[in-house]
Amino acid sequence: MLFPTRICCFNLSFVSLSLLLLLTLAGNVLSGVTYDRKAIVINGQRRILISGSIHYPRSTPEMWEDLIQKAKDGGLDVIQTYVFWNVHEPSPGNVCGLTDFLLEWGVASLLKRFDLLDGLSALLDLSVLLLAYSSNVFCGLIWSASSAIWMSDTMVKHFQYNFEGRFDLVRFIKTVQRAGLFVHLRIGPYVCAEWNFGGLPVWLKYVPGISFRTDNGPFKMAMQKFTEQIVSMMKSEKLFESQGGPIILSQIENEYGSEAKTLRSAGHAYMTWAANMAVGTGTGVPWVMCKEDDAPDPVINTCNGFYCDYFSPNKPYKPTMWTEAWSGWFTEFGGTLRERPVEDLAFAVARFIQKGGSFVNYYMYHGGTNFGRTAGGPFITTSYDYDAPIDEYGMIRQPKWGHLKELHRAIKLCEHALVSADPIVTNLGNFQQAHVFSSESGGCAAFLTNTDPKLTARVFFNNMHYYLPPWSTSILPDCRNVVFNTAKVGVQTSKTQMSLGSSRSLSWETYDENINSYEDNSITRVGLLEQINVTRDTTDYLCIYIDHSEAFLRNGQHPVLYVHSAGHALHVFVNGQLAGTAYGNGENRQFTFTGNVNLRAGENVIALLSVAVGLPNIGMHYESWNTGVLGPVVLKGLNKGNWDLTWQKWTYQVGLKGENLNLHSLEGVSSVEWVQGSLFARKTQPLTWYKAYFDAPPGRDPLALDMGSMKKGQVWINGQSIGRYWPANIAQGDCGECRYTGTFRQQKCQSGCGLPTQRWYHVPRSWVRPTGNLLVVFEEIGGDASGISLVTRSLASVCADVSEFHPYLRNWHLENYGKTEVLQQPKIHIHCEEGQTITAIKFASFGTPLGSCGDFQLGACHAPDSHSILEKSCIGQQRCSVAVSNTEFGGDPCPNILKRVAVEAICGYT
């Protein structure tokens, strides 16, 4: 009888365990992150999620809290960031030169795990390993091994990672968590992002047998190792939502769809492997793949672009997600600034939501700065402002930030209906539609859209008439009252200014970079070498020398030098004198220098200073693209005719002498004798190092260097690299009128034609001390350092322009909850930055004012007391508001005419 009893007890225990397991699983479903066809589900609730990209290396840790709070105040739920492999693993660590690794694994383990030849051949291979442990040969043998030794914990711990300062990913995510926001972590690890080499480390290019982003063993092993390293780090800090952390989504790979199609079976195999590898890390949160139509289950495929209302996921049970809603566009040296009108951006988001979209991420919400040599492209500027709602310096960009905030509030009012039902679409005209969402509980939300780019439409919906401006959407959270229209901007517009931070001019000292000779660590080879193969991207600069002996020149004419370069810029020196400069651009990085060179009788030294301006970040197998002078290089017009120098003996010097001496650092700056004196005679002197000391301006306004008087080079403050500067590269483009209506493309709204693409360079406040800051500049071509100045960025003026019948959210709340209060008139709201007050009213008019912010003019209708009323309400205040009503302005200046209030106020410090 005991045996059956045991059986019975076992069965009861099994049932209890099963029930416990089911309850646990149910609890995990309610407390975790899942998805269905309508939305991401967090803690059992479908959510409409508004997200924004902020890249942690493009700002400083001291800026993060403020940036994230401003994002939260702007209505965001999620902060999205890439993970930048090449800053976290700048070298492959000690795996290629680690004797303790060899000792740890031992001979037997190596022979077994490397699966090499048996017997004597294996011993010979092992001896090669021991002899070449510090060279790429050792790495190659590791990479080509058939076993998964690369993935073991023992191997991983020998890698050198950098998560300090701007690269402190955990600190950044915890800062987001403290603000109460979620995180979308885009591990990639390929990121594009206009970042140097697309975020992949340059050393990866030199792994034998590697081919990026395809079905390639060495690449997949390296990618998996880094991905698992990041996932492990997040898990150890309990940062995934499944652990109680803020990370609700992760991304693997990035915009791979077009490459997958080109590579066909290899691309599909790699994409499928990447998805399965990512899911296998067990993060407990969904994974996405952007611009990858074939993303396998359970990975969600998502959309990137200026518009995504056309997009549907590849399975009906996946949510519709927009991982990159482009808020503007990046900038290239030699190109114009690209700005996207907020009316169009809001229209694009509203159209996406009305089509059933439930996740929108602004790329970028804060663009930041490409400090150091992190800019990619090539030719991407140091500024990565992106016309984002928060500008490069961390200041709110109005009206973009405020108008989007109003959009987010309107969308959130509709959230329950949006996630509960599919829209019923009704045509209201040739270009007009209504999308109506009705929930089972009786809730109703409607989106009324007019896609006509020219004409306002009057439509009839739900027994009422509505006016829809061109290219706009009105949002009705109760299917009756308009609380927001994408084309009607009611928030203020802000104008910023750059002001001289100090009246004291900088006292400069100089040091000449001697280009006419090379150092002992130079190398000599026959023929021309690819630049990155020589520099390993440790510097932008590679100097190539050749000696030439010439008797007398034919007819006294200077010979012509032809140099073809694969990119990106080139300075030609003959006997230490600059003979000319040439460079490519974002459309074609290759170019040819052609110029007369002043050779003298006897020995001549030709020095070609080849300069990289960021490595490519996008393109099929961009790791195989060339940089630098690869020829042909030809001298024409010599006594003996033409001389092809391409396959002559060349001497290579990696980097500048000043770089090797660390002249930009606090420690290295004293290693040479600097020259004091007037800069007047040096205004066009190329290859010059400059140093000066300065005190920080008082206050908290963001800082920048005005480099408009310089030509091209790099700049450092207290040893920190601000980045590359290039004011000599003038913006070329089509800077015509910018209208918000009609389909937006990056060529549409350009500005800055005929000016330096970038004049001001962000200096983080946290990088400067109150006094005695070291400023070091290296000028390649020859500029006027006396024109360099430190400036502060501040709010100069604010404008508002609001009509009598502007949608007002407060009124919707009153009507929706059955309040009996009198409906309120819309108001103009203006405010200055913290520490500032409104010091003057530059313009004010209630009536029919003309123009726009900075250029307002009186119209035919104007209330004469407008200016005094605004002065009384606003002068001396940080912020003020005035109702747009006849009562407020002492009567109706023009009956039966739609009126507006337009105001421009000056902000200043008290």
Distance CA 475, CA 384 (A): 32
Tell me the one-letter amino acid at 885.
S
In this structure, the number of other CB atoms found within 10 A of the CB of residue 771 comes to 9
Give the contacts of 745 (CB within 8 A, at least 6 positions apart).
306
H or E element, residue 139:
helix 136-144
Distance CA 81, CA 187 (A): 8
Residue 846 — φ and ψ, nearest 5°?
A: -105, 115
Distance CA 742, CA 274 (A): 38
- Residue 10: helix, strand or coil by DSSP? helix
pLDDT at residue 4 in the model? 35
How far is residue 474 from each of residues 71, 307, 396, 449, measured CA to CA in Å? 24, 18, 25, 6
Given a contact cutoff of 8 angstroms between Cβ atoms, the answer to whether 90 and 537 are in contact is: no
Distance CA 523, CA 271 (A): 42
Given a contact cutoff of 8 angstroms between Cβ atoms, the answer to whether 391 and 833 are in contact is: no
How far is residue 865 from each of residues 66, 840, 847, measured CA to CA in Å? 39, 16, 11
Distance CA 84, CA 187 (A): 8
H or E element, residue 51:
strand 49-54
The model's pLDDT over 345-380, given as tens digits with 9 standing for 90+, comes to 999 999 999 999 999 999 999 999 999 999 999 999
Regions of the chain where pLDDT drops below 70: 1-31, 93-159, 503, 551-556, 678-683, 809-823
> CA gyration radius for the chain?
31
pLDDT at residue 22 in the model? 37
pLDDT at residue 556 in the model? 66
pLDDT at residue 827 in the model? 94
Distance CA 101, CA 109 (A): 11
In this structure, the number of other CB atoms found within 10 A of the CB of residue 354 comes to 26
For 848, half-sphere exposure in the C-beta direction (CA atoms, 13 angstrom radius) is 9
DSSP category for residue 645: -
Distance CA 386, CA 358 (A): 24
- Mark whether 587 is an active-site residue: no
Distance CA 690, CA 645 (A): 34
Structure-block tokens of residue 440: 């089972």
pLDDT at residue 736 in the model? 92
C-beta pairs of 92-95 under 8 Å, 24+ apart in sequence? 92/139, 92/159, 92/160, 92/201, 92/203, 92/204, 93/158, 93/159, 93/160, 93/161, 94/158, 94/159, 94/160, 95/139, 95/142, 95/155, 95/158, 95/159
- Residue 499: helix, strand or coil by DSSP? strand
Q: Which residue has the tokens 């409906």?
A: 823
pLDDT at residue 8 in the model? 35
Report whether the peptide linkage leading into residue 710 is cis, meaning its omega lies within 30 degrees of zero. Answer: no
Beta pairing, strands 182-188 & 78-82: parallel
- Mark whether 779 is an active-site residue: no
Which residue among the candidates 194, 241, 253, 324 is catalytic per the annotation? 324
Distance CA 544, CA 557 (A): 25
Given a contact cutoff of 8 angstroms between Cβ atoms, the answer to whether 300 and 319 are in contact is: yes
